Structure 1
Amino acid sequence: MDKPKAPFPPYPAYKPSGVPWLGDIPAHWEVTPLFALMKERDERNQGNREQNVLSLSHGRIVRRDVKSNYGLLPASFETYQIVYQGDLVLRLTDLQNDQKSLRVGLVEEKGIITSAYVALIPKIDSRYAYYLLHSYDIQKVFYNFGAGVRQTMKFEDLKRFPILNPPLPEQRAIARFLDRETGRIDALIARKQRLIELLREKRAALITRAVTRGLNPDAPLKDSGVPWLGKIPRHWEVRKNKAIFFEVVEHSESGSEELLTVSHITGVTPRSQKQDVTMFMAESLVGYKVCQPGDLVINTMWAWMGALGITPILGIVSPSYNVYRGRKSVEVELHYLDYLYRTPPYVAEMNRFSKGVWRSRLRLYPDEFFQMSTPLPPLPEQRAIADYLDRKTGRIDALIQKIEASIETWKEYRTALITAAVTGKIDVREKKLSPRRKGRKGKGGMQVAGMQGAGEKRHHQEDLPLATCKPVWRSWRLCEIHYEDCSCLI
């Protein structure tokens, strides 16, 4: 597949900025301290005169639903500060512990926001200012500003922060360019994310159908006697979980066994394989529950989300989890049960049997789990179902991974594009751009393999049937549309 490139030219001349993370900048740009281009917004919500509560979420200023009572709420919103459209909001708290959150947002409407955040009134183009500070944010500049990492930064700490100050027409041109290009990229990412949602829905439906109806669509059916299960193949049986499992309570004496985690997404996996895990770690693992390969482990606190699975190796889990072992008197393929117990209908049944006042506080205890029912085909059929699902879900999972990798690539490109534009590494003034033109890369500039920066060229219209790409396909089809290439995935 050809790899289109993004032909964004550099500026004609550059000069040193004197700022390490900015490098060289266009010769006619200036570096100006923040206090000369922005001032602090400091207007308290006295008398609760403003009721529109805002929040900084994933780099966006959004309305907050205070009626849901989600998260911590103050006794009075009089301590909040009023912000206006075009203001910038920076969350510069907890800098030592949280280096992942996006900390800069642009206010789109009048409202109030916590006074723990720094609110700025830009004297320059507000959207350019937002993109510039957002670029600083994703480069993690705030974490190393001044004399080392600080837990919290206030406006006083930002006053001499270096701000790139191109002429106002260029600020507006850069903002328009980034609005247009990031909008296209965001729309593309949204389509890919929707595609992943559809794939996961298909995966869940495929599993549910196989573990509750089998692989033979013509098999005679009978009433299972279980409301959520409905009809099942006539030769299947239904057993109470108490007849299939017994609880195991065996505590580790050394805590040296492999620590396992239990997730609704990945089932039971070694914690050492988890990336970016921020969960609390006990000082000692002595007393954790031991589980053998083939044991069923249920995260008691998150069973309502489907956090359970079959243990692949010898290990230990939290003492608050429940460990179950299969009875020798019942023939079961544990891999089949692993698929069954994590299906949406079975998870819903776990919700029904769980105890607790609020959904987030539901607990599935052994007595309730043992009352639940499990459909059991003959052992060879259980194995056939598990093998079938391994093949089918493996293909879907591989496709999801490919799309997720594509999304990450586009996110990286988006980040690089913003940084290059606001720091003057590329010249995006309208008179320089030719959206459909491809050119050679000059000195400097920006090329990104596999992506075109301005404009979209598609091999077909998005609203055409997916089969138009490759009509010879006979299975379900999925089409992933790039800026300038069409990769049809199956």
Structure 2
Amino acid sequence: MNNELAPYAEYVDTGIDWLNSIPAHWSVEPGRSCLTYRSNKNVGMQETTVLSLSYGKIITRSLSKPSGLLPASYETYQIIEPQDIVIRPTDLQNDKTSLRVGQANTRGIITSAYLRLAPRGELVPDYAYQVLHSYDLMKIYYGMGSGLRQNLDFNDFKSLPIPIPPAEEQYAIVKYVRHVERKIGAAIQVKRQLVTLLAAQKRAIVHQAVTGGLAPSVEFKEAGVPWVETIPSHWAMVPIKRLLQDIEYGTSQSPEGYGPIRILTMGSIRDGKVSVPASGNSVAVPPGLTVRHNDLLFNRTNSPDLVGKVGIYDGPDDETISFASYLVRLRVRRECCAQWLCYALNSPLFWAYARGHALLSLHQANLNPTRYGQLLIPLPPKKEQEEIARYLCRREREIDAVINRIEREISLLREYQTRLTADVVTGKLDVRTAAAALPDVDPHHADLITANDADEEGLDGDDLTEESM
């Protein structure tokens, strides 16, 4: 993509470690001379369009479906104008996530906890955003800030060096960088779609195996439950509780924040597995509330789309590991294969069926373990359970290997974009000729695809309320 690019003919040293040299005809100005800090409050509700900074993009929030903590009044928010640059300046010490910088395409309001900057003088707005965005990707801001949580304010930007090419060159740089964003964004989008298809294939394989078995030809009978039509004729439909020794709620005592005992939480269950925290946060737990090898944990309280997920603990029995009260331990009888049961309970159609029995309250759902234990699932003989578990484990590894390779390719594309953008914006590569050959594209067109857009699927945006700051 950058085969046609070459360095400039002549450079001068800036004396700045991370900026090094710039083209000889460029200048470097401190932020105080080319950036303006603005903070116009929304007094009298002059503006009602609420904006969010979400993964490096300024987006419009829906007031009909608010998320996160809400402000007492939107009059405390600040007014944002098109081409303003918005920076999330808080908690650099603990949050090393990039994409703290966004550029507004429309007028609206955003939390006053964020910095609103506008370029002035010879600094072109779109190029100013690219510079500050590149600094974000280069992790420059993490060496700045003050206070216990390392927060930024405008004083940090007053002395920030800004490379400034001639205006026509700034436009060329922006044009080329956006071309790169579109190309890489489109490539990542294709790869994300492939990951989605592979994940769907994995779910379909699981459902087919746990409801129909592995035999190429077998007689079927009616299952008698809404989530599966037929099962092999030699299988039975049984309530989940018949396969369990016991169903046990987790500990309700608050962790002390220290101690040797590790406590499993909602986040510990992912993709049918139980992930154990690296360190403990409790001194003691009630007797019997620990997990053993092949115990299943079921999430009885979560958001409506996640409640009921199940994970299997495959660690040793000699470690003291407990689980929080919103998890339920399912201890499997010896006559049942625990790995098979975990696959069956995570089958997408069964999981959706189980979630349908949850009680909703605000943004939470609660799936009663007693009611859950009465739900019917297909039961093959134990030998078939073990064969199904081995088969699904093998297929899962094969598909996950492909997904991991694609995710690595996406990561490499993003790294390439970051490095290329930084090199172009700071003058390490000359894009003037290449940009002149590119078609003009509206930078605010709805069809503009960027790598960040392609990566946002399935992610939540930042919580932008002042209360959350």
Q: TM-score range with shorter-chain normalisation?
A: 0.7 to 0.9
Task: Name the TM-score, length of structure 2 as normaliser.
Answer: 0.83
Q: Structure 1 residues 237 and 430, CA, compared in 2 at 3 Å: closer, same or farther?
A: same
After the TM superposition, which residues 134-213 of structure 1 pair with which residues of structure 2 at under 5 Å, given as runs?
134-145=133-144, 151-213=150-212
Counterpart position of 2:74: 77
Matches of 2:280 and 2:275 in 1, distance apart?
18
* 1:244 corresponds to: 243
Corresponding residue for residue 429 of structure 2: 426
Which amino acid letter does the alignment assign opposite residue 322 of structure 2? V
Instruction: Report the CA distance between 1:130 and its aligned residue.
Output: 0.9
Q: One-letter code of the match for 1:290?
A: T
User: Of residues 362, 365, 370 in structure 1, which corresponds to 2:365?
Assistant: 362
Which deviates more, 414-423 or 142-151?
Answer: 142-151
Q: CA RMSD in A?
A: 2.6
Output aligned runs, 1:43-442, within 5 Å: 43-123=40-120, 124-145=123-144, 151-216=150-215, 218-245=217-244, 246-248=246-248, 256=260, 262-272=268-278, 283-287=281-285, 289-302=289-302, 305=306, 306-313=308-315, 314=317, 315=319, 316-320=321-325, 321-328=327-334, 331-358=335-362, 360-430=363-433
- Measured in 2, the distance between the counterparts of 1:20 and 1:148 equals 24
Contact conserved, 1:228 with 1:345, CA < 8 A, in 2?
yes
Amino acid at match of 1:122: P
CA distance in 2, matches of 1:150, 1:157: 15
Counterpart-to-counterpart distance in 1, 2:294 and 2:284: 22
Structure-2 change in CA distance of 1:393 and 1:297 (3 Å): same
In 1, the alpha carbon distance for the partners of 2:79 and 2:259 equals 52
**Which amino acid counterpart does residue 285 of structure 2 have in structure 1?**
G
Indicate conservation of the 8 Å contact 2:127/2:174, yes or no.
Answer: yes
CA–CA separation in structure 2 for the residues paired with 1:228 and 1:266: 20
Structure 1 pair 263/174, CA: closer, same or farther in 2 (3 Å)?
same
Could you list the per-position Cα deviations for residues 292-340 of structure 1 after superposition, in whole angstroms to 9, with x for gaps in the alignment?
A: 1121112332495253222212341323122121234xx3222211111
- Measure the CA separation in 2 of the matches of 1:259 and 1:367: 23
Q: Deviations over 1:7-60 (max 9, x none)?
A: 521111212112222112212211101121121222222221212111100000
Deviation, structure 1 residue 197: 0.5
C-alpha distance 428-200 of structure 1, shift in aligned 2 (>3 A): same
Structure 1 contact 287–319 (Cα < 8 Å) conserved: no
For residues 77-97 of structure 1, give each alpha carbon's deviation from its aligned partner in whole angstroms, at most 9, with x where no partner exists: 222222121111111122222
State whether residues 263 and 308 of structure 1, in contact with CA within 8 Å, keep that contact through their aligned partners in structure 2. Answer: yes
> Structure 1 residues 431 and 137 mapped into 2: Cα distance closer, same or farther (>3 Å)?
closer
Tell me the alpha carbon deviations over residues 361-394 of structure 1, each in whole angstroms, 9 at most, x when there is no partner: 2223331222122211112222222222223222
Query: How far apart are 1:286 and its partner, in Å?
Result: 2.0
- TM-superposed CA distance for 1:147, in Å, is 6.8
| Deviation larger for 45-54 or 60-69 | 45-54
Given that 1:85 and 1:107 are in contact with CA atoms closer than 8 Å, whether structure 2 keeps it comes out as yes
Q: C-alpha offsets along residues 239-260 of structure 1, whole Å, 9 cap, x if unaligned?
A: 11221111257989x9746765
Structure 1 residues 64 and 103, CA, compared in 2 at 3 Å: closer, same or farther? same
- Bigger Cα displacement from structure 2, 256-265 vs 97-106: 256-265
User: How far, CA to CA, are the matches of 1:119 and 1:54 in structure 2?
Assistant: 13
| Match of residue 470 from structure 1 | none
Question: Cα gap change, 1:424/1:150 in structure 2, threshold over 3 Å: closer, same or farther?
Answer: farther
Deviations 1:152-186 (A, max 9, x none): 22223322221111111111111111010111101
Residue type at the aligned position of 1:287: V
**Structure 2: which amino acid aligns with 1:405?**
R
One-letter amino acid of the counterpart of residue 218, structure 1: S
Deviates more, 1:32-41 or 1:141-150: 141-150
For residues 66 and 139 of structure 1, what CA distance do their matches in structure 2 show?
34
Q: Secondary structure at the match of 1:82?
A: strand
8 Å CA contact 2:220–2:231 kept in 1: the answer is yes
Counterpart of 1:309, as a letter, is: G
Residues 354 and 368 in structure 1, CA contact (< 8 A), matched pair in contact too: no
CA contact (8 A) 2:239 2:375 kept: yes
Residue 298 of structure 1 contacts residue 308 of structure 1 at CA under 8 Å; is this kept in 2? yes
Moved more, 61-70 or 213-222: 213-222
More divergent stretch after superposition (198-207 vs 75-84) = 75-84
**Aligned equivalents of 1:153, 1:433: Cα separation in 2:** 37
Aligned position for 1:445: none
Query: 5 Å matches for 1:438-477?
Result: none
The answer (yes or no) to whether the contact 2:84–2:117 under 8 Å persists in 1 is yes
Distance 2:212 2:124 in 1: 61
Answer with 78-87 or 187-196: which moved more. 78-87
Letter in 2 for 1:267: K
C-alpha displacement of 1:433: 8.1
Number of positions where the alignment pairs a residue of Structure 1 with one of Structure 2: 420
Determine the C-alpha separation between the residues in 1 that align with 2:294 and 2:410. Answer: 35
AA aligned opposite 1:334: A
State the Cα deviation string for residues 345-371 of structure 1 (Å, max 9, x = none). 12123212333413x422233312221
In 2: Cα distance, 1:244 partner to 1:406 partner: 42
More divergent stretch after superposition (143-152 vs 178-187): 143-152
Are residues 413 and 250 of structure 1, via their aligned partners in 2, closer, same or farther at CA, if it must alter by over 3 Å?
A: closer
Instruction: Please give the alpha-carbon distance, in whole angstroms, between the structure 1 residues aligned to 2:73 and 2:160.
Output: 33
SS of 2:407 mapped into structure 1: helix
Tell me the SS of whatever aligns to 1:18: strand
Unaligned segments of structure 2, at least 5 residues: 439-469
Structure 2 SS opposite 1:65: coil
**Structure 1 residues 146 and 319, CA, compared in 2 at 3 Å: closer, same or farther?**
closer
Structure 1 SS opposite 2:225: coil
1:434: how far off?
A: 8.0
Whole-Å separation in 2 of the counterparts to 1:431 and 1:257: 59
- In structure 1, stretches of 5+ residues that fail to align are 273-280, 436-490
Q: 1:147 to 1:219 in 2, by over 3 A?
A: closer
Q: Quote the offset at 1:418 in angstroms.
A: 0.9
Secondary structure of 1:99's match? Answer: coil
Conservation of the 8 A alpha-carbon contact between 1:35 and 1:159: yes
